Chains A and B, each alone.
Chain A
Amino acid sequence: MKRGLNLFKTEDYWAIWLGLLVIVIAVAFFWSGSTLKPWVVKPGSWSTLAELGSDFAKHAGGYVAILFGFGAVFALSMKVMGRDVRQFLLGFVVLFAGALAIFYLAGWSIMQKADLGAPLLALLVGLVIGNIKAMPHWIAASLRTEYYIKTGIVLLGATLPLTLIAEAGPIAFLQATIVSVTTWLTIYLAATRLFKLDPRFGAVLGTGGAVCGVSGSIAIGGAVRADKDHIAIGIGVVSVWAIVMIFTLAILTKMMIPLPTVGIAGTPAQVTPTGAWELSPAEAGAWVGTSEYADAAGFAVVAEIAEEHGDAAIYAFTLMKVIGRDIWIGIWAFVLSIVSVVYWEKKDDVNSPHGRVAATVIWERFPKFVLGFFAATILMSIIAAQAPEDRRGMAPMKGTFKSKAQKANYDADFSSFVVPQNLADRFIIDTGSGTISFVGKMSLPDLREILKTANSDQAWALKSLHHESDWYESVLLPKVIDPIKTLRSWAFVLCFLCIGLSTRFRDLMTFGLKPFWAFTIGVIVNVPLGFILTTKVFVDYWRGLQ
């Protein structure tokens, strides 16, 4: 296959093109003075059928736009990859309608009281339907779990600050390496020494648990020339455990993260765990990143956490799983291919497949979509750095303060307000126009200083001004980042629904007890090790991540 064509022949590259296209369109709208926001929507919360009906009527145009936008690019990619576009499109329309129904179900007040978000609901509903009835071919054609999650991860890149990768990336890599090597050795030794399984089978199982789940098993299976049956069993064991861990980790982490509080600026404050069994959202994400086996499965957990606690869990998971574990699969493949040739294979048998695996395998197995994730992060960091230096944020003296944590109407009188001396040249009161303004970005210490002499109504106005003074928060976030996040949510829910609909436990559970127990021993070591490293050894890094 020619290199140029390669750029359009795998889902990894298509996830990059689709993700970057979305980001470029969002930025183009922004620079032309507009925003994608009216067209990029997802259902809100509701408690009566009338509310549901009005929400649907309000957003119907947006749903059609997303269906056509995603559907067109996915269909084009299917055509180029040589697949049946008609079947895909038929299935995709049904899948999209299913995702929409899941969003509405999650927005129902009863589900919100039950603390069930769209990610877990998509998985649960999918599992029930998928295990009652096998999906017809035309729906199965649209169940592309990995394609959707890769697209979501590229979009996620646009929302994750580059500085975060620079600061926490090395720690994530260190922790992930400790966990990956320990887990791989545990599963491999249990498989080969305890249960006397073939070493290549042990390597397939070990990589599935230690690096990147089913994709890891496949990548290593080829590198070590594993038997077809061993890979099939590896897929079954890893998939079943990955799904079990989605629910286990989601329930545990949701119980262990304290409820969010409100900070001085009226936005959700950083959660500070106090007990030994309490976690911050970022710690939860890092733990899931070390103890889940597949990207899609792990994202189901952290996306569920993010519904209530914000994106910190998603960021920590991405650092740990995608950057800390996934991108090293090529190196694992190369090293294990050498070990396989030197130690595990019969020598001088020309009837068996033979030949060396070249070092090019490091690049060939590299999950290319990660490049799109980095490109999106860099692109958005450059745009975020374009904040006008002389920006003057402005807020009305009478209005409504609204954040994710608080909402309040206020009517403030600033006629005799005493401005702190050190901020007097930046804080402007214009009683004529009924506004207050601030030159440059108001920091939290600045806000704290001004609030000292403020009454309740003045405090709400000042919190509004604090928000308006931040170009990223008040302009770039709502107009560019939020629409990208909404599309990311769609890609994720499509993915989680696919996991459920394509999982048939009866077909998967055909493995014997030996490989199952070898993998289970790895789980028993991996889960507490991930927890201890996250909450004890590297706790300062994860707790500091917001």
Chain B
Amino acid sequence: MNFREYKIGSRFFALALGGSMTITLLMPSFDINHVNATEVAMDKQLWAGAESGFNLDDPFLLGWHKPLKVLLKADPKTGQPMEPTYAYVYEKGTTLPGGILHPDNLGGIAKQLSLEKGRIKEADKNVGAVFLVKADEQKRYYIENATATMGWTPEAVEKTAGDANTLHAAAGKTLFVREGCWWCHTLLPEQTQDWQVFGAPPMLGDFNGESPTAFGSDRKAPDLLHVGSRNASKEWMMLHFFNPRLVQPHSIMPRFDYLWGPVDANGKKIDFPKWRAEYNEYREGKRVTPPEVPMYARNSEIRNLIDFVLTLK
């Protein structure tokens, strides 16, 4: 480096870059570390699972190894009716979410209660587990590992809930990421406006344990963070995903008919070219009604996506 100036310069460069990283990475990390998980964050990380983007459990983003969110109306052990409760089912082999693996992520009292009352440290990926979000008498939320506290097994919970009460929301979020919905729809109502139409902006602790957060930065379509509260109709969602222009003629959203897969709910092959041809006739005014949208199969991808969208309350 020959010149003394270059030696000094390199040191200053290290100092400048290091200083910048201290201010922009290290210091915020202290703040963000102290953010305690809210009830929303607990619910969200439990239904979305550890990771919705690329990961080794689900490298092709096909929704492998994802938890389920189920609505229980009876106790899975005794079969006695009970107050409807949401439970989060992690079958054997499903990676546990951040807050369970690292209770520090929950922070503060939630961490303490989840460890002591909720026994979350006893959850084991190799066995599977069922979780609940609970509140104590003082309305302090925590996560309970129902497998440890009540002996609920994933199989029993799934059986008791039944398919109609099972939401494949985690697999749906994977689709949200894979299909790039977030290039147009944000998941972040803004603090300065958006309250009336899109609902309240998220709070500080609402994201703990979530990955990816997929806020979105180029909004070309409505915010979806609370879409399930605005519109909870499965039928509307179904028409809208098959061809958005069936319910909103001016929409620029792409059609997601390919998520139906080859067959409909009755196992009948879906004839896409015929549907499109008939739709074009309808559009040109040669038909009075658009063609019927096929009911999707139980295990189709579109089911997961609709489950996800309806979970966004």
A, B in one complex: no
The residues of B with any CB-CB pair to A shorter than 8 Å are none
